[in-house]
Amino acid sequence: MSHQPFEDWILDDEALSGEEQQALDAHRAVCASCTRLGTARTAVDRGLRQAGMVAPSAGFTARFSQRLVEQRVRDGRRQAWGTFALAAAAAGVVAIPLVFRLGQDRMSPGEWVVQMLIRLYDAWIGLRVARGFIQVAWNSLPDALPPAWILGIMAACLGIGVVWIATLYRFAYRRVTEGA
Amino acid sequence: MTRSRAASIDRGETRWLERARQGDEAAFAELVEAYQRPVYNLCYRMLGDAGEAEDAAQESFLRAYRGMRRYDPKRSFSTWLLAIASHHCIDQLRRRRLPVDSLEELEPWEEIPDTGPGPEKAATLREGRETARALLARLGPQDRAVVVLRYWDELSTEEIAEALSLTVKAVKSRLHRARKQMAESWLRNEPEPAWNGGRADVASAV
């Protein structure tokens, strides 16, 4: 015996037309399986609806407020660690090659300080040279490179800047309420 | 609140929502107060444990608070909130990966103090909770969420689809499957009526 569409009618929520209801009643009169399914569906519905709403124990909102405060402290700590890690990473990128180079020569603390000052002076001179190079390049680039290349380079520089700002924003400035 | 449709259009709530979206904690606390029951109930029905439900409900509100700026005021707040809670509970259940094989393996039902109703009503409630827990325990996480949103929160098929990121057709199909599973479960645990002379397997009726 086919139990379709009667089983669907029993289990689904769609309202049945008069004819469909008559057909279902007629089928159930001769089909023990569908009769039992209908009884079970009714019992399940009743069982679920009888269960009612369960409420949390008193003071739920106060506990939430407390949790929010604790979460904010945790987020603050994470934010501080993120900022520290970024700064440490940036400092490491600059300092590690310098320290590595200085560490290659065995020197007394006095010599080490003198070497460090010389290196800083060299770095300052290097920056001045770099600035001069950039100025020359800036003035001559329009003649040397096609406009599309210049636009591409500028877009790449802009992209790096945006990524850097977004990173700082993500780890250092974002408010707790905006979520992790 | 069985389903506070009226509450979602309440002027006070609209004000709380506006203020909460601007980061006002006190306004959000009012929303927590108003919606704690449906959210906790959903978590409780999904997870079946009072402690886990409390934690999940708190976490759901925390996520909602953090996401308030992304909340679209054109949508129903309760549906949005229940969606957050549903997804969180589904994730929790998937992490558990501990299928319940038979009703006998279920842990004893955790009693929740009944405040208010008399002994008879309390007994009916307790019986209903037992039944509900046993029936829901057999369902997969998403089917369970569909059933809870339908039976306790009385969401429409479209609202459930929106809350669970499913199609309307998928919701109907899940509801159909869940009801069938629950009916089978109920039949297995009910004494066979004398007129039938033996147990009929519902699955064989398909």
Report the alpha-carbon distance of residue B31 to residue B65 in Å, rounded.
10
Residue A65 forms part of a structural domain: no
Question: Chain A contacts of B38, Cβ < 8 Å?
Answer: 53
What is the reported pTM? Answer: 0.68
Which residue is listed with tokens 């509100």?
A: B61
Q: Is residue A61 part of a domain?
A: no
- Domain count across chain A: 2
Instruction: Specify whether A83 is located in the same domain as A172.
Output: yes
B183, A44: Cβ pair inside 8 Å? Answer: yes
Same domain, A46 and A104: no
Subunit contact A64:B61, Cβ cutoff 8 A = yes
* Exposure on the CB side of residue A173, measured as CA atoms within 13 A: 6
Amino acid at B196: N
Residue pair A32/A60 in contact (Cβ under 8 Å)? The answer is: no
Q: What is the pLDDT of residues A2-56, one digit of tens each?
A: 778 888 888 888 888 888 888 888 888 888 888 998 988 998 888 888 888 889 9
Let me know: does B10 contact B30? Beta carbons within 8 Å: no
Q: How many domains does chain B have?
A: 1
Q: Are residues A28 and A84 in the same domain?
A: no
* Nearby residues of A179 by Cβ (< 8 Å), 6 or more positions away: B63, B66, B67
Both structure tokens of B34? 């108003």
Name the closest residue on chain A to residue B121, using Cα atoms: A50
**Would you say residue A36 lies in a domain?**
yes
Closest CA to A40 of B126, B102, A32: A32
Domain of residue A133, residue span: 74-178
Q: Is the peptide bond before A97 cis (omega within 30 degrees of 0)?
A: no
Query: Tens of pLDDT along A96-140?
Result: 777 776 667 667 778 878 888 888 899 999 999 999 988 888 787
User: What is the phi/psi pair of residue B67, to 5°?
Assistant: -95, 10
DSSP 8-state code for residue B110:
P
- A68 is a domain residue: no
A70 to chain B: closest CA residue = B62
- Decide if A170 is inside a domain: yes
CATH number, domain containing residue B148: 1.10.1740.10
> B101 — phi, psi (to 5°)?
-85, -35
pLDDT at B175: 94
| Both structure tokens of A20 | 């469909």
- Tell whether the model's pLDDT for residue B2 goes beyond 70: no
Q: Closest chain B residue to A1 measured between Cα atoms?
A: B205
pLDDT at residue B96 tops 90:
no
Chain B residues closer than 8 Å to A55 by CB: 36-37, 40-41
Confidence of residue B101 (pLDDT cuts 50, 70, 90): very low
Specify if B170 maps to a domain: yes
- What is the spatial distance between Cα A107 and Cα B188, in angstroms, rounded to a whole number? 86
Q: Locate B155 and state its tokens.
A: 């969401």
- ipTM summary value: 0.72
Statement to judge: residues A34 and A119 lie in one domain: no
Instruction: Answer yes or no: is B204 within a domain.
Output: no
Q: Cα dihedral angle (B171, B82, B102, B196), rounded to 10 degrees?
A: -50
For tokens 């001559």, the residue is A140
Written as six digits, the tokens of A55 are 């409420």
Q: What is the pLDDT of residues B110-168, one digit of tens each?
A: 444 444 556 666 666 666 667 778 888 889 999 999 999 999 999 999 999 999 999 99
pLDDT of residue A30: 85
Q: Indicate whether B64 belongs to any domain.
A: yes
What pLDDT shows up at residue A71? Answer: 87
